[in-house]
Amino acid sequence: MDICELRIPRAEYDMIQSYMEENKPYEACGVLIGTIDGVIVEVEKALPIKNVKRTNKSFEFDPTEHFTAWNEAEKNGKGIVGIYHTHPASFAVPSLWDIETMENDLSVWLIAGTDGMRAYTWEKGVKSIQIRKY
């Protein structure tokens, strides 16, 4: 898949930023629900999911909340098109753990850091993709 753009409503983008601030100094995380249309990922909702690791350097979705999010998305004819997590004390670039995990999860990764937000996907390595807020 050759994803080149992530479209996200401004309200969802702002919610992720606020969620990062609320959870500092710990990482926050969630899923991006929407559709994929060719090379464009259309996010309709950013859904927070509890970070059961509760550290400032890693995240792990609460399995029950993750399963519920997946079911709700499917019921509404949507899918989980990506994940988001925060780097509350560093830049919005993938960590080594992120990179290792991205290779096995080909969805979009949105990272919110101290320098803003960036989106990535895996295509024979980490690829940065454009974010378009609307």
Domain that holds residue 78: 5-133
What is the amino acid identity at position 72? E
The number of domains in the chain is 1
Would you give per-residue pLDDT tens digits along the chain (134 residues)?
589 999 999 999 999 999 999 999 999 999 999 999 989 999 999 999 999 998 888 999 999 999 999 999 999 999 999 999 999 999 999 999 999 999 988 799 999 999 999 999 999 999 999 999 99
Q: What is the pLDDT of residue 56?
A: 87
Instruction: Give the angle subtended at the CA of 105 by the CAs of 130 and 39, to the nearest 5°.
Output: 35
Tell me the CA distances in angstroms from 127 to 8, 9, 64, 79, 118, one per residue in order. Answer: 18, 22, 30, 22, 11
Query: pTM for the full model?
Result: 0.94
CATH number for position 44: 3.40.140.10
Q: Determine the longest span between alpha carbons in the chain, in angstroms.
A: 37
